[in-house]
Structure formats: structure tokens, C-alpha cells
């Protein structure tokens, strides 16, 4: 983990690049939440540990014109979410799942967890978060998935 970094940038007052050790020193949050897949299965009561997204907001201080966040991940994968969705208390960047370090199969070392959206919005292999003024469609959204991704409205595909 000596080379891994999380870059926080874009329309922010205090851009930052965090090492793994620095992420681990941020206040820790535990969360139990369900995950819903676009293919109609759900996994209930996932236990996540990580950093509340609100902690990152406090760290970088987004500018007033930042309306979206683009999650940048390994292999150039991206997805976007509106700021108001990420403001929920149950959004975090997770490094533990069900009592163990997050494995690469489940998005480790770090993944975004957004329980109120379909699982592809909980981006795996997180490497950066970019605050932007205008939305940019990510990989799945450019390939037919609904950008809102609200499972209670069944917003699966365009």
C-alpha cells in the first residue's frame, strides 16, 4: 500500500492526495446497509467500516459551484453522483466489509459505499474523487444504465 493514493480534487478549496496511512487516520465510521444490484439481487445487512463522506467534504471544502462528484477508479472506471446524494449520513469510503479488510474482489483497498443507489454507484477500487460543476456520465451510464440509479424507483436502464 505504499504506492496507493486517494486524490481529492476539482472544484475544492483544499485539494488533497491521501496515502493509505492518512486515510486510516481519519475518523472511523461503521455502517450496516443493504446493497442492491441492477440485476435485481440484493445483499442485506452489509457491515462496512471506513470514513464518512462528510469527513472528506470537511477536508477539501468544495466550492459552491461543485454540484457532482466523479469517482475515479482503477482501469479508468468512473461514475458520478450529485452532491446531495453524497450528503446522506450513510455514504462512506469503506476499507472493511463484514469484519475484514476489503478484498480486491469486493473493491479493495477502498470503495465508495452509497446504499441508496444501485451497487455500480458504490465504485470499487477507488483512486480519486473529483468535485465538478457539470455531470459527466461514467462507464455504465454511457452504456445504458440510468444515471440516477435509485433502486426504490427501479431506475436501472435509460
CATH number at residue 16: 3.90.420.10
Q: Does the CA dihedral 96-157-136-68 come out positive or negative? A: negative
Range list of β-strands (E), 42-115:
42-52, 68-73, 78-82, 92-97, 100-101, 111-113
Q: Report the share of the chain in percent with pLDDT over 70.
A: 100
Q: Is residue 158 part of a domain?
A: no
For residue 1, pLDDT over 80 is answered with no
DSSP structure class, residue 145: B
Residue 63's domain comprises: 5-153
For residue 20, pLDDT over 80 is answered with yes
- From 22-31, 34-43, 78-87, 91-100, the region with the lowest mean pLDDT: 34-43
Q: Is residue 95 part of a domain?
A: yes
pTM for the full model? 0.95
Q: Average pLDDT of 54-78?
A: 98
Amino acid at each position: 500500500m505504499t504506492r496507493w493514493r486517494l486524490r481529492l480534487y476539482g472544484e475544492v478549496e483544499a485539494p488533497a492526495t491521501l496515502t493509505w496511512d492518512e486515510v486510516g487516520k481519519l475518523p472511523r465510521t461503521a455502517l450496516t446497509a443493504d446493497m442492491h444490484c441492477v440485476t435485481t439481487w440484493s445483499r442485506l445487512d452489509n457491515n462496512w467500516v471506513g470514513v464518512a463522506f462528510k469527513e472528506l467534504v470537511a477536508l477539501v471544502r468544495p466550492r459552491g459551484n461543485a454540484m457532482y462528484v466523479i469517482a475515479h477508479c482503477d482501469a479508468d472506471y468512473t461514475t458520478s453522483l450529485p452532491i446531495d446524494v453524497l450528503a446522506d449520513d450513510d455514504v462512506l469510503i469503506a476499507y472493511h466489509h463484514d469484519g475484514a479488510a476489503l478484498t480486491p474482489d469486493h473493491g479493495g483497498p477502498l470503495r465508495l459505499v452509497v446504499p441508496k443507489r444501485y451497487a455500480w454507484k458504490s465504485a470499487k477500487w477507488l483512486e480519486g474523487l473529483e468535485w465538478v460543476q457539470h455531470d459527466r456520465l461514467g462507464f455504465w451510464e454511457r452504456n445504458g444504465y440510468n444515471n440516477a440509479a435509485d433502486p426504490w424507483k427501479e431506475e436501472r436502464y435509460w
